[in-house]
A and B are shown apart, each in its own frame.
Chain A
Amino acid sequence: MSDTTSRISDNIDRFFDSDVWWSFKSSKVTIGAAIVTVLIIITAIFAHWVAPQNPFDPAQLDLLDSSLPPVWYADGTWKYMLGTDDQGRDILSALLYGSRISLMVGGASVVAAALIGVTLGLLAGYLGGSVDSLIMRVADVQMSFPAILVALLIDGVARGLLPNERHDELAIWVLIIAISLSTWVPFARTVRGSTMVEKNREYVQAARVIGRRPVAIMLHHVLPNVMGPVLVIATIGLATAILTEAALSFLGVGVPPTSPSLGTLIQIGNNFLFSGEWWMVVFPGIQLAVLVLAVNLLGDWLRDALNPKLR
């Protein structure tokens, strides 16, 4: 046990001593992106303390307060600083709660996609032969379905299969599964490629010679060496997943309307662009763009930092 602990603390020391940390410290843009990301995540997690209203609780919504403009307009009030939407939801609160849903859907689907992709990629790359062939053909099938279409279809099937009273609770999980099933392929391809390179390296050969089991070799020797690109794909994948969720909401199969995500909020606000009630789409739009931009910038930095050839 203490062995593990010391290894972790070793790793931490190594991290702060590393080039990665140095490149982080030296980039103002990256520091800014990190601060923004962390801020959004924290306010989203603690939304029920930070937000003035719980927009997911229908009893707290008052239809008569709907479509109010932000506070600096004549009919605006401090009660709803950024205005309200067509159901009387406080936009500020909806942003915080909506970010939580978006981050949860995005984060969980990236983790799931990475798990599927890395596992299959390792297997395909390490074992090769017919296993490789099979997995890569499955990836081909997967690729022949556009991500949005896969998500649309899975959502449709789930709606048909799942009991309806559970639908609202399960809708988010369905989305996560749909998005992760449509985004695991890049992980698998990258890991497979790296694994094929790594498995012929001397140290892996050596491990094999001393009789370590393939699973152990994959986990202890190959995996750590392919984690870099996986991390990069995951970061960019997080941004993409959040956007895919928004696109699905636009097509009408996103999260339930009683608990809107950022994408749903934009989709609702989208309908009010021409009528002058711009705050319903602009604030969620800015929040989403800032979040995705920050995550992408972090991904950029990570890619450059982990690629020694670029320094």
Chain B
Amino acid sequence: MRFKSLLIGAAIAVAVALPGQAKELRFAFQGDLKSLDPYNLNETFTLGFLGNIYEGLTRRSPDLSIEPALAESWSIEEPTRWRFNLRKGVKFQDGTELTADDVLFSADRVRADGSDLKTRLAGVVDVIKVDDHTVDFVTDAPNPILHAEWSTWYIMSKAWAEKNGATKPQAATGNEENYATRHANGTGPFMIETHEVGVRTVAVPNPNWWDKATHNLTKVTFTQIAADPTRVAALLSGEVDMAYPIPLQDQARVDANPGTRVLAGPELRTIFLGMDQFRDELLYSNIKGKNPFKDHRVREAFFRAIDIEAIKAKVMRGNSQPSAMMVAPGVQGGGDPRFTRLGYDPDKSKALLAEAGYADGFEVGMDCPNDRYVNDEQICLAVVSMLAKVGIKVNLNAQPKALYFKKILAPSLDTSFYLLGWTPGSFDSWNVLYNIHGCPDESGKGKFNLGGYCNPKVDELTAKVLSETDADKRAKMVSDAWAMTIEDISHIPLHQQALSWGVSNKVELAQRADNEFHWRHVTIK
């Protein structure tokens, strides 16, 4: 016993004697790291985490502008042919060198069965190796934002995957575990040291990284802490150096605590309400034989009944940016000064309802997730209460996302009125116009247009936006498309929620608006 405490004493002495040696970053997140395979799940946290281990041809700087990574440069040779020049001398963490073959292999693997990131190469018809460090991508039509999402299309080593039998992503039905699920071999600034599934993941810096490391970390430990109070407690007590998300009501406590602070910033996700506008009779309503939401006046009445400033002040505690548009200011085409929100006006709302023939209001069912977005259920409850004041009785069905998405997403589309959030992966308006505003059809257009809003003129313009390469013309088209959907009140945009990271004062880091956490920007005092 005596001996043991002596040893511990000695260990402490050593630790004190060598300050600045161990710079360990311990961080906690609400969710879990699903898999180390970079093509397994198209989800922000997983891809953001793996972006520290793996790299794409491009990467994004803290302000989200695209910068070269594994590709040193690129050029558009023809409208449908892009050329990428690979960086020379880049080594994977197992020591093999990056070549064009690895890019070709990754292009095949990301489009194989079981990959959830097939859309990264949507429209790419051919990938051609020009020489060992040059690759051409041929597309079926001109696409000025081809590489917009390539910062999260990570390049894997062909030799490594072949050696370990991981040439295809994990298939959903597979009874065999894929090697890449628990092992990683990237080119990035960090390497996985240990990965205890669902418990803890430890990474160390990659000494052979091609870029100059600006961080001073010697080790990174990630733990999932799902319960909000427990996560906050771990940060406050100094057991983790960084935790996110911090519940909005706990921000003051984290800031008041001497050793910690909150980093809040706007996120690119827009939270909005959608209404069923395609059925002739609503699924959940006491109005039979017609669909009130088909009436523009009813949609406007709903919009005007919602006091977005009260939601911002009370539910979001100041941490939201009310939005007139369905995209955030940081997205291409977002933050357009041409648009302002319809004002909060319950009297006008009542008048509009009366004009539309619903002077006594009506009943409608609302669907809401309760574990997906920041304070999602509380926002819905506030909306229920606000609509009650203009005579609309809303029957709220708030449930966990597993049940919620099953109910509202296609093919069931089992909803009349719902809350959803969306971040365009490409940070471009086209993604939102196409997915959320396009008339739904077989091709996948409008696949998240759950209310079935349909304006053929918007569709026409959206199609033109995709292939327009002149930036100014394109911006004008985007703005005009938004003007039409906002005029139609296709949806009711609410706000952009805020990022809420809790950070120890020992730690300096760069917060990205897409909520990805990159350790290469971290320094520890």
By a beta-carbon cutoff of 8 Å, the part of chain A in contact with chain B is 57-59, 61-64, 66-67, 86-88, 159-160, 164-165, 167-168, 252, 256-258, 270-277
- B298 close to chain A: CB less than 8 A: no
Q: How large is the interface on B (under 10, 10 to 19, 20 to 34, 35 or more residues)?
A: 35 or more
By a beta-carbon cutoff of 8 Å, the part of chain B in contact with chain A is 228-229, 232-233, 236, 247, 249-250, 252-253, 283-284, 307, 310-311, 313-315, 365, 370-371, 377-378, 381-382, 384-389, 394-400, 403, 407, 414
Q: Which of B232, B236, B385 contacts A87 (CB 8 A)?
A: B385
Q: Is the Cβ of A87 less than 8 Å from the Cβ of B252? A: no
Please give 6 more A-B residue pairs, beta carbons under 8 A apart, in addition to A159-B399, A159-B403, A164-B284: A58-B385, A63-B315, A164-B365, A164-B397, A273-B229, A277-B249
Complex-state Cα separation, A57 to B385, whole angstroms:
8
| Nearest CB in chain B: distance from A271 CB, A | 6
User: Closest A-chain residue to B232, C-beta based?
Assistant: A274
Complex-state Cα separation, A298 to B430, whole angstroms:
67
Q: Which of A88, A159, A168, A274 contacts B229 (CB 8 A)?
A: A274
| Nearest CB in chain B: distance from A277 CB, A | 7
Q: Which residues in A have their C-beta under 8 angstroms from that of B387?
A: 58
Q: Is the Cβ of B388 less than 8 Å from the Cβ of A258? A: no
Q: Is the Cβ of B385 less than 8 Å from the Cβ of A86? A: no
Q: Which residues in B have their C-beta under 8 angstroms from that of A271?
A: 228-229, 247, 249
Q: Is the Cβ of A88 less than 8 Å from the Cβ of B249? A: no
Q: Which residues in A have their C-beta under 8 angstroms from that of B384?
A: 58, 258
Q: Which residues in A have their C-beta under 8 angstroms from that of B382?
A: 63, 87
Q: Which residues in B have their C-beta under 8 angstroms from that of A62?
A: 385
Complex-state Cα separation, A275 to B377, whole angstroms:
19
Q: Which of A67, A159, A160 contacts B314 (CB 8 A)?
A: A67
Sorted from nearest, which 10 A-B pairs have the closest CB atoms? A59-B388, A58-B385, A275-B249, A58-B388, A61-B385, A63-B310, A66-B314, A58-B384, A274-B250, A63-B314
CB-CB under 8 A for A275 and B381, given A57-B388, A67-B314, A252-B371 = no
Complex-state Cα separation, A63 to B250, whole angstroms:
19
| Nearest CB in chain A: distance from B402 CB, A | 10
| A interface: dominant SS | loop
Complex-state Cα separation, A66 to B370, whole angstroms:
19
Q: Is the Cβ of B253 less than 8 Å from the Cβ of A276? A: yes
Q: Which of B229, B233, B396 contacts A257 (CB 8 A)?
A: B396
User: Closest B-chain residue to A252, C-beta based?
Assistant: B400
Complex-state Cα separation, A224 to B307, whole angstroms:
61
Q: Is the Cβ of A168 less than 8 Å from the Cβ of B397? A: yes
Could you list 8 examples of A-B contacts with CB < 8 Å? A58-B381, A87-B381, A252-B370, A252-B371, A258-B384, A258-B396, A271-B229, A276-B253
Complex-state Cα separation, A164 to B406, whole angstroms:
13
| B interface: dominant SS | helix
CB-CB under 8 A for A168 and B378, given A252-B370, A252-B371 = no
Residue among B228, B307, B384, B407 with the most chain A CB within 10 A? B384
CB-CB under 8 A for A272 and B396, given A63-B314, A87-B378, A257-B377 = no
CB-CB under 8 A for A164 and B314, given A87-B378, A252-B371 = no
Complex-state Cα separation, A64 to B311, whole angstroms:
9
Q: Is the Cβ of B310 less than 8 Å from the Cβ of A165? A: no
Q: Is the Cβ of B407 less than 8 Å from the Cβ of A164? A: yes
| Nearest CB in chain A: distance from B285 CB, A | 9
User: Closest A-chain residue to B233, C-beta based?
Assistant: A274
Q: Which residues in B have their C-beta under 8 angstroms from that of A258?
A: 381, 384, 396
Complex-state Cα separation, A106 to B252, whole angstroms:
37
Q: Is the Cβ of B378 less than 8 Å from the Cβ of A86? A: yes
Q: Which residues in B have their C-beta under 8 angstroms from that of A256?
A: 396-398
Q: Which residues in A have their C-beta under 8 angstroms from that of B388?
A: 57-59
Q: Is the Cβ of A257 less than 8 Å from the Cβ of B399? A: no
Q: Is the Cβ of B311 less than 8 Å from the Cβ of A63? A: yes
Residue among B247, B311, B397 with the most chain A CB within 10 A? B397
CB-CB under 8 A for A86 and B229, given A164-B397, A167-B397 = no
Q: Which residues in B have their C-beta under 8 angstroms from that of A270?
A: 229
Complex-state Cα separation, A165 to B367, whole angstroms:
10
Q: Which residues in A have their C-beta under 8 angstroms from that of B395?
A: 165, 168
Q: Which residues in A have their C-beta under 8 angstroms from that of B403?
A: 159-160
Q: Which residues in B have their C-beta under 8 angstroms from that of A276?
A: 252-253
User: Closest A-chain residue to B256, C-beta based?
Assistant: A276
Q: Which residues in A have their C-beta under 8 angstroms from that of B233?
A: 274
| Nearest CB in chain A: distance from B392 CB, A | 10
Q: Is the Cβ of B307 less than 8 Å from the Cβ of A63? A: yes
User: Closest B-chain residue to A64, C-beta based?
Assistant: B310
Complex-state Cα separation, A101 to B232, whole angstroms:
31
Complex-state Cα separation, A27 to B422, whole angstroms:
63
Complex-state Cα separation, A276 to B251, whole angstroms:
11
Q: Which residues in A have their C-beta under 8 angstroms from that of B396?
A: 168, 256-258
| Nearest CB in chain A: distance from B498 CB, A | 16
Q: Is the Cβ of B253 less than 8 Å from the Cβ of A274? A: yes
Q: Which residues in B have their C-beta under 8 angstroms from that of A61?
A: 385
Residue among A67, A160, A275, A276 with the most chain B CB within 10 A? A275
Residue among A58, A67, A87 with the most chain B CB within 10 A? A58
Q: Which residues in B have their C-beta under 8 angstroms from that of A58?
A: 381, 384-385, 387-388, 394
Q: Which residues in B have their C-beta under 8 angstroms from that of A273?
A: 229
CB-CB under 8 A for A275 and B252, given A63-B311, A64-B314, A256-B398 = yes
Q: Which residues in A have their C-beta under 8 angstroms from that of B236?
A: 274
Q: Which of A63, A165, A272 contacts B249 (CB 8 A)?
A: A272
| Nearest CB in chain B: distance from A54 CB, A | 12
| Nearest CB in chain A: distance from B310 CB, A | 5
Q: Which residues in A have their C-beta under 8 angstroms from that of B397?
A: 164, 167-168, 256
Q: Which residues in A have their C-beta under 8 angstroms from that of B229?
A: 270-271, 273-274
Q: Which of B314, B365, B378 contacts A165 (CB 8 A)?
A: B365
Complex-state Cα separation, A274 to B243, whole angstroms:
15
| Nearest CB in chain B: distance from A125 CB, A | 42
Q: Which residues in B have their C-beta under 8 angstroms from that of A87?
A: 378, 381-382, 385
User: Closest B-chain residue to A268, C-beta based?
Assistant: B378
